[in-house]
């Protein structure tokens, strides 16, 4: 992973430290953060945040600036997997919003 991805992973880790159920793993070139074995978010190259959400919620969130459907290799994922641009993750509050969205959707699904 590049330096921007590592920096994002550090920020995510710092914000998720209070949630003792979150596990960190390297997966598919991404630093993934999992809850109960399911990916919440991932820190990707160039500081892009991969966010896993409910498909319906993702369809609404994709209209936000700096958000698009995630692309993994040659595959474009569904609206349950979003790439969030580093341009809209400038502050810890911005990042915390996306972490909260992922946690809420994971708890709803789980």
pLDDT tens by residue, the chain, 110 residues: 899 999 999 999 999 875 668 889 998 789 999 988 889 999 999 999 999 999 999 999 999 999 999 998 888 999 999 999 999 999 999 999 999 999 998 887 65
| 24 phi, psi to nearest 5 deg | -115, 135
Q: What does the alpha-carbon distance between residue 45 and residue 7 come to, in Å, rounded to a whole number?
A: 10
Spatial neighbors of 40 by CB under 8 A, at least 6 apart, are 22, 33, 34, 51, 52, 99, 102, 103, 106
Q: What was the pLDDT predicted at 72?
A: 85
Query: Is the distance from CB of 109 to CB of 54 less than 8 angstroms?
Result: yes
pTM: 0.92
């Amino acid at each position: 992973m590049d330096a921007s991805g590592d920096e994002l992973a550090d920020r995510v880790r710092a914000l998720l430290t209070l949630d003792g159920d979150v596990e960190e793993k390297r997966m598919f070139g991404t630093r993934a953060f999992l809850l109960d074995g399911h990916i919440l978010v991932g820190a990707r190259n160039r500081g892009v945040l991969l966010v896993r959400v409910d498909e319906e919620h993702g369809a609404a969130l994709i209209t936000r600036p700096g958000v698009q459907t995630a692309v993994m290799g040659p595959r474009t994922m569904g609206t349950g997997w979003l790439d969030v641009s580093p341009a809209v993750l400038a502050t810890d509050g911005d990042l915390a919003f996306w972490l909260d969205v992922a946690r809420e959707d994971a708890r709803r699904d789980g």
